[in-house]
A = this chain, B = another copy of it.
Amino acid sequence: MFSERIVGSLAGGSAIRAMFEQGNILKKKYGAENVYDFALGNPDPEPPVSVINDLKKYAGEPGIHKYMANAGYPDVREKIAAYMKKETGVEFTGNNIIMVTGAAAGLSITMCSILNPGDEVIVIAPFFGEYKGYVGNFGGKIVRVPSIPGTFQLDVPAIEKAINAKTKAIILNSPNNPSGAVYTEESLKALNVVLEEAEKKNGNAIYVVSDEPYVKIVYDGVKVPAISAIFKNSIVVNSFSKSLALPGERIDYVAVNPAIEEADVLMDALIFCNRTLGFVNAPGLFQKVAAEHLDDVAGLDAYKERRDALYEILIETGYECEKPQGAFYLFPKAPIENDVEFCNRAINHRLVLVSGTGFGYPGYFRLAYCVSMETIKNSKESFAALRKEF
């Protein structure tokens, strides 16, 4: 009756969203303070006060809420180009930037613009499950290449093996959701050598699509290598959702490396897809405000404190876990092979976790630690009791 493809997909759903709803059921039953919900990467700090003030300021500015060009406000695109140039050394101009309705929209229009049916897109497991839709909707095929267990760094020789004449793109996501890993500059440069050789051999470009919502959420003095500076054929999808703590507002941008052959045609394609897929333009008010806060990051110290506290609890209660240097996730090893069963058993302890299987990496589970310190501290007993079951 309805779309068979869509109705057939409904049962699959999103592992994260399913646990998010499971958490809400538990909270109704036991009270929110008695549930330790680590399911959703929903930044808990409020946006910076200066962002709120700018929202109020721009809200009343005449003309701000009207249609603008599908690519976004020209002054906003120029500001972002200048920022990208400063950060990467690459000669971005406003013509290389398109404002989008969230990073999901950015990835969707990118895949719509570059993929032909049957094209392959390499993703590094563990990976954000929604990539399957963004690629599959446009006839592309996901090819999973596991990262190195434990460190979750790039396994460059494995990527090299996965490349063939059909490879159109590779999605990078560093700092990574769910592992928190920040890919090293060395590994990225090695990957670039592999990609350039494959491009020469196969005679076509392999685009590096860099999904960077967590690029500013890093700890311990780590610096995330600039993807645009390393890869000529790079398309960066940035996001204000996490850096400004406003994921519900859907405001982000895509930056097309000016070194891409026919970069102007790619920009036209992105703008066309933005329009015809129904995004039309990124929300006007938030475009103007985000452009004033390109260097800001909300809640970084609080995230670090929580990472450290939750990591300590996991180690003390007997879990195996890396201490990641980015994002707001931990990705410990499940004490049993079946991580889905492990997460289901955790529910009995009012712990809401997401299985690694949901990220294409069985045997692990994800904790989003953008929750209160109180929740983290109070969860210790539950983690201990859960661990003892195995």
Contacts and interface: CB of A to CB of B under 8 A. Distances in A.
B249 A10 contact: no
Contact of A281 (B44, B138, B248): B248
A52 interface: yes
A116 B3 CA distance: 5
A55 B277 contact: no
A68 B248 contact: yes
B133 A247 contact: no
A131 B92 CA distance: 34
Contacts of A109: 278
Interface string A277-298: 1111111111000000000000
A282 B105 CA distance: 12
Interface in A4-38: 4-7, 9-10, 13-14, 17
Contacts of A208: none
Interface stretch (A268-276, A299-307, A342-350): A268-276
Stoichiometry (number of copies): 2
Interface string A105-137: 111110011111000000000000010011001
Contact of A65 (B134, B249, B280): B249
A163 interface: no
Nearest to A44: B66
B1 A262 contact: yes
A299 to B, nearest CB: 12
B6 A70 contact: no
B59 A275 contact: no
Interface string A125-164: 0000010011001100000000000000000000000000
Nearest to A106: B278
Nearest to A247: B67
Interface in A174-189: none
A265 interface: yes
B279 A279 contact: yes
A56 interface: yes
Contacts of A382: none
Question: Nearest 4 CB-CB pairs, A to B?
Answer: A108-B278, A248-B284, A133-B276, A65-B246
